[in-house]
Structure 1
Amino acid sequence: MMLPPPPEFLTIDYRPDLGILVVRWQRLITVAEMQQGYLLLLEYAAHYRCRHWLLDGRRRFNTDREGAQWMVATFLPLLQPRLGARTYLAYLLAPVTLRDQDADAAFPPAAYFQDKPFLGERFVEEGAAIAWLQRQL
């Protein structure tokens, strides 16, 4: 199966050496672009049978409530039926984003993930994010 190429605002690379899909947002995006990117990411994840994702949002900067609501209500419930087991999402963010109250409010607290078929964590250093993902393998 041929995967469609990512749009210009996104790169998706499967790293078989790490067992990780590396996703990099290239610029500020709209909610529609976010949705398009995540749905494409799910196609790549299913193709590579990869449930460990590094999501680099350092160039994106925007986390908003509408996008977060779509993630929680629409996208995240698609993961287990499509991928078959728990998915791990390591969000790589700029330090300023971690201090942003709106971004904080849009990202669920750790307790939210306890009984979910997916787990998300936020990082400012790529090495720490990759190490966390590899501990989940």
Structure 2
Amino acid sequence: MPLPLLPDFLTLTYRPDLHLLVVRWQRLISVAEMQQGYLLILEHAAAHACRHWLLDGRRRFNTDREGAQWMLSSFLPLLQPRLQQRTYLAYLLAPVTLRDQDADAAFPPAAYFNGRPFLGERFVEEGEAIRWLQQQP
């Protein structure tokens, strides 16, 4: 079955050499677009059996509590049933986003990921994010 087409606000590339899904948000998005995008990402990840994701949000530049709540309560629980193992999400963010109090509050603390079938981390440099992903099982 062919994968669904991607909307204009999202690019997605599977890197078989790194067994890595590279996702780039292309612009500021609404919560509905974020939800649509993440569901498409999961479809592509499942098609490639890929559990290591580089999520480039430097152009997206918006993280909010509503979107974060949907991620935690609705989206992240979908990963284990679809991908069968722990999924690793490296978020590539603009440095200013890491200093934004609301964006910081929207991202769960490291302890949140303990014992969960997914792990997320934030980065400002793409090379560092890829190295982190490659270190994960």
TM-score bucket (shorter structure): over 0.9
Shift in Å, 1:61: 0.5
- Counterpart of 2:75 in structure 1 is 75
Which blocks of at least 5 consecutive residues in structure 2 are unaligned? none
Identify unmatched segments of 5+ residues in structure 1: none
Matched with 1:93 is 93
Letter in structure 1 aligned against 2:103:
A
Alignment of structure 1 residues 1-137 onto 2, 5 Å: 1-137=1-137
| SS of alignment partner, residue 133 of structure 2 | helix
Q: Matched residues, percent identical?
A: 81
Over 2 Å off, 4+ runs:
none
1:56 to partner: Cα distance: 0.1
- Give the Cα separation in 1 of the matches to 2:30 and 2:91: 18
Instruction: Quote the Cα distance in structure 2 between the aligned partners of 1:5 and 1:54.
Output: 19
CA distance in 1 between counterparts of 2:100 and 2:116 reads: 25
CA distance in structure 1 between the partners assigned to 2:50 and 2:18 by the alignment: 10
Q: 1:4, 1:72 → 2: CA distance?
A: 24
State the shift of 1:5 in Å.
Answer: 1.6
The SS at the match of 2:134 is helix
Q: SS at 1:134's partner residue?
A: helix
Distance 1:46 1:21 in 2: 11
Query: How many residues were matched structurally?
Result: 137
SS in 2 for 1:61: coil
Q: Partner letter of residue 67 of structure 2?
A: G
Q: TM-score w.r.t. structure 1 length? A: 0.99
Q: Which amino acid aligns with 1:20?
A: L
In 1: Cα distance, 2:119 partner to 2:58 partner: 20
Question: 1:95-123: CA deviations, max 9, x gaps?
Answer: 00000000000000000001110000000
**TM-score, normalised with respect to structure 2:** 0.99
Residue aligned with 1:13, SS: strand
